[in-house]
A and B are shown apart, each in its own frame.
Chain A
Amino acid sequence: MRAGRFLPGLAALFLLVFLLTPDSFAFLFRPLTRNNAPAIYHQTALLRLTVSHLSIVAIAVIASGLVGIVLGILVTRPRGREFLPLARSVTAIGQTFPPVAVLALAVPVMGFGTAPTLVALFLYGLLPVFENTLAGLTDQPAEILEAARGMGLTPLQRLWHVELPLALPLIISGIRLTAVISLGTATIGSTVAAPTLGEVIIAGLLSSNTAYVAQGGLVVSILAVLIHHGLSAAETNAARAAGRVG
């Protein structure tokens, strides 16, 4: 338990130091290089790539989070109920679409660069948030909603004071899924020239420099673990606040 509490902090600290002074870790990656190839990627600063990687993911996740939650709320209101079966099957079908394919298909419409990556991440990220919002809002104990109605709460008050707090843990877990998937998928964005950490990995693949592949992968993995950890903690808090032992 104890190590579990320290580990994320240590990982974050390591990541920060590595990104600020990557060269001091060159000795770690040297064994992976051949023919005196550079051990640390320098074409673009790792820190800058990390920041832009995270910004792209953040923008996409926030956008898909907002839209996903609003859509989830809309189709569970009486006026939107007509769309519920459709929404369910669209999310089920949508999740079978490979992320790489979504990315590749965005290129003809948006051209190369950050835009297709953002769109692909946004579209792909919508599904987990939407699906979990839906699950959170539909699987609520009927007696709680009855009680809320019986106490004279308006539909809007019921949504705000009862339904959303109860659904929050699931919604956050949807955002967590979206964030972790987006973090990985954003690396593939480099194949369509988005400035993400995938650039380091692809440079490694093109020049057969394993050190690049490893450091790109390492940074993304640590980020994924940290984000997973942070959002899991938020989920537990929300679950506790909703009166469920998480």
Chain B
Amino acid sequence: MIELQDLTRMFDGQPVVRDVSLTVEAGEIVTLVGTSGSGKTTLIRMINRLVEPSSGRVLIEGLDAASLPVHQLRRRIGYAIQGIGLFPHRSVAQNIATVPRLLGWPRARIEDRTDELLELFQLDPARFRDRMPHQLSGGQAQRVGTARALAARPDLLLLDEPFGALDPIIRAQAQTDLRAVQRRLGTTMILVTHDIDEAVLLGDRIAVMDAGRIVQYDRVARILAHPETDFVRAMTGGPEGVFRLLSLVAAAEIAEPGEAPGPPVDAATNLREVLSLCLSSGREALPLRSGGRVTLAAIRALAGRGGQ
């Protein structure tokens, strides 16, 4: 569990982050979303003390982050950034091994861990181990960067706009992969993004930041359904708002008995995709592979109730 207590950071007399308190449950992904300049990057940089808080404290599993020597603290916290920042003079394996080497792991254990991570991120160890960073594509480099951040099994992984440099198609894949990796490892993650769709897709909870404060922190569905301020409403709503809501609900949840024409879909397919398929194929309902169907009418009714 990660607890941020009353964190404030001043720059030149101006508060950039004010009085932020936040608790992140172990094994969850919290996405910090806000406009640029909202203080979200400063906030996560206070967790690994790349920025020292002006006041307030950070507790990691009950331990005050300020009580550890700063480099030891950082070795326990994974950190992945937009620029990725792979070391250009070191091979992929050496990059991933950075923190284990700093921690003095035995060589065999480092090698095993490196290969394990490469496989986890779907990079064939035999092919990628000895490549240099400039021989990687953008998506591959991003995966290596995240693997490097996870190498020493950190309690917490901080991600600052990790997919910012990727093009849309690769980005979507990278998001899905990160989600899968997190489900397997159960690592606690805090991810900073300015993209509400990314926040919705990846987060268990979303913290919306504006002008240095957290204006709302809640489960994704609740944030979408009950925005507490105009700012959050503007951020989550708009013409796309209803689709975001639908994307959180699986088809099975509003399935009803009955038949429908055409090819069936998985029960786990989200309603946004179901809606899209209905419209593009001109059908009023889609059959589920597991039996039953989802109707346009049911989707419309759900959207009208605000996703509840």
Let me know if chains A and B touch directly in the complex, using CB atoms closer than 8 Å.
Answer: no
